[in-house]
């Protein structure tokens, strides 16, 4: 006969087994919750935060974790940032903050750096763009750690750390002048160029701004204007901060647009004059007129000033010339303001370069159509 265990003994073993399984499952659930909470506080992605839209990173970030500034000189550090996530990243703002181990090294009166270039935009997946950290003029030598935070657009306002770096404030590497003296010397150089431009004339007695018909050219003016802007800005930064002035790539694009449009405008003018001369030569010779009293000489056209001549086409105000002149002057003012605020040559945004190109293109099309 088969031997069986009593029913109450089986019940006790089953209860113990159930209690052991429940105890194990409870500890596993509690442990996973604690680990997920610690990872979230440390900034690591969790199962709840994994589907977030995008992830911002600085490229390249392998060897650029130390930035050198000079005491008493404001500086701007350009950064190339990229959305390395799986979807578009809607950015509310970027912020700078001192690391926890460096807050005591930053004096209370030191102004916190600003981060500009990305506020309020949506950065598509995989796309890179530019941002700039603008540092104030630190009064003393120091070393501290800074951090950059991004806040996403949405109902929450939680900054996320995406870049950390070390800031080294050193004594200037060479003897430099004050900002005021540097500005005066740079202005003197720009004034010298202006005087030479106006008073140096060729064999035809025309200055740099004038076309062969003695009218003033807006395309020549904008080439001179941008040469003056870059010369003044570089001289100011050279005397104020030393020889380590970096030329952004956008400066070459800006000068290329100016010089290119002037060359095309000159070519159109030569072509139009040649076409007019050929058309006049092709006209049949007129019969000799009968002897009639010579008419009284016509009054000479009233002379107009350089600005009105520059903004006019055959004596009539030109909207295309006006908008090209306005864009040139307005962008020059922006350029000088950014140079003074950041202490570097302004990296002109690509959208502004496109607008300038459209302005110059409209001027050239208008000039070509009128010549035809």
User: What are the residue ranges of CATH 2.60.40.10 in the chain?
Assistant: 56-170
- pLDDT at position 194: 87
Q: What is the CATH number of domain 56-170?
A: 2.60.40.10
The CA angle 246-248-254, to the nearest 5 degrees, is 135
The strand pairing partners of 81, in sequence order, are 58, 129
Closest by alpha carbon to 250, among 352, 121, 119, 128? 352
Grouping H, G, I as helix, E, B as strand and the rest as coil, residue 210 is: strand
pLDDT score for 149: 92
Encoding tokens for residue 328?
């040139």
- Which residues neighbour 183 within 8 Å (Cβ) at sequence distance 6 or greater? 236, 240
Work out the number of other CB atoms within 10 angstroms of the CB of residue 153: 15
CA angle 67, 159, 138 (to 5 degrees): 30
> What is the DSSP code string of 110-158?
SPPPEEES-TT-EE-TT-EEEEEEEE---SS-EEEEEEEEEEESSS---
Q: Determine the pLDDT at residue 40.
A: 43
CA 210 to chain centre: 33
Secondary structure E strands in the chain: 56-58, 66-70, 75-83, 89-98, 114-116, 122-123, 128-135, 142-152, 160-170, 312-313, 316-317
Which portions of the chain are predicted below pLDDT 70? 1-53, 61-64, 103-110, 173-176, 243-244, 272-273, 275-277, 279-280, 283-304, 369-372
Q: How far apart are CA 321 and CA 305, in angstroms?
A: 15
State CA 297 to chain mean position distance: 57
Model pLDDT, residue 188: 92
Q: How far is CA 24 from CA 15, 29, 36, 181, in A?
A: 14, 9, 18, 77
What one-character-per-residue DSSP string does 225-256 give?
Answer: HHHHHHHHHHHHHHHHH-S-----HHHHHHHH
Q: Are 311 and 326 in contact (CB under 8 A)?
A: no
Q: Give the per-residue pLDDT at 134.
A: 87
- Taking the C-alpha atoms of residue 231 and residue 272, their distance in angstroms, rounded to an integer, is 34
Q: In what side-by-side order are the strands of the sheet with 89-98?
A: 66-70, 160-170, 142-152, 89-98, 122-123
Decide: 233 and 332 in contact? Cβ < 8 Å: no
pTM (2 d.p.): 0.53
């Amino acid at each position: 006969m088969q031997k069986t265990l009593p029913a109450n003994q089986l019940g006790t073993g089953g209860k113990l087994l159930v209690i052991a399984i429940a105890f194990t499952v409870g500890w596993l659930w509690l442990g996973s919750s604690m680990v997920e909470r610690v990872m979230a506080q440390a900034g690591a992605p969790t199962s709840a935060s994994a589907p977030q839209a995008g992830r911002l990173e600085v490229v390249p970030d392998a060897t650029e974790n130390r930035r050198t500034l000079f005491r008493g000189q404001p500086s701007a550090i350009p950064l190339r940032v990229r959305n390395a996530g799986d979807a578009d990243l809607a950015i509310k703002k970027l912020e700078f903050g001192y690391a926890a181990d460096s807050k005591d090294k930053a004096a209370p009166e030191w102004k916190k750096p600003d981060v500009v270039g990305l506020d309020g935009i949506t950065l598509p997946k995989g796309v890179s763009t530019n941002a700039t950290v603008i540092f104030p003029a630190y009064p003393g030598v120091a070393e501290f750690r800074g951090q950059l935070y991004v806040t996403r657009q949405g109902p929450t306002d939680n900054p996320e750390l995406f870049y950390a770096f070390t800031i080294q404030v050193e004594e200037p590497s060479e003897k430099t002048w004050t900002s005021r003296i540097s500005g005066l010397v740079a202005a003197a150089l720009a004034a010298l160029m202006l005087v030479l431009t106006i008073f140096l004339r060729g064999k035809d007695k025309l200055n740099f701004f004038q076309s062969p018909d003695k009218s003033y050219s807006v395309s020549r003016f904008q080439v001179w204007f941008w040469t003056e802007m870059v010369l003044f800005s570089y001289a100011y930064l050279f005397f104020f901060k030393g020889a380590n002035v970096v030329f952004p790539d956008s400066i070459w694009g800006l000068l290329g647009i100016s010089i290119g449009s002037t060359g095309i405008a000159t070519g159109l003018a030569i072509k139009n004059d040649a076409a007019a001369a050929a058309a006049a030569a092709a006209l049949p010779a007129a019969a000799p007129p009968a002897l009639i009293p010579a008419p009284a000489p016509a009054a000479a056209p009233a002379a107009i000033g350089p600005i009105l001549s520059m903004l006019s086409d055959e004596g009539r105000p030109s909207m295309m010339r006006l908008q090209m002149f306005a864009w040139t002057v307005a962008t020059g003012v922006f350029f000088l303001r950014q140079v003074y605020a950041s202490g570097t040559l302004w990296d002109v945004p690509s959208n502004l370069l496109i607008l300038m190109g459209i302005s110059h293109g409209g001027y050239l099309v208008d000039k070509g159509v009128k010549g035809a």
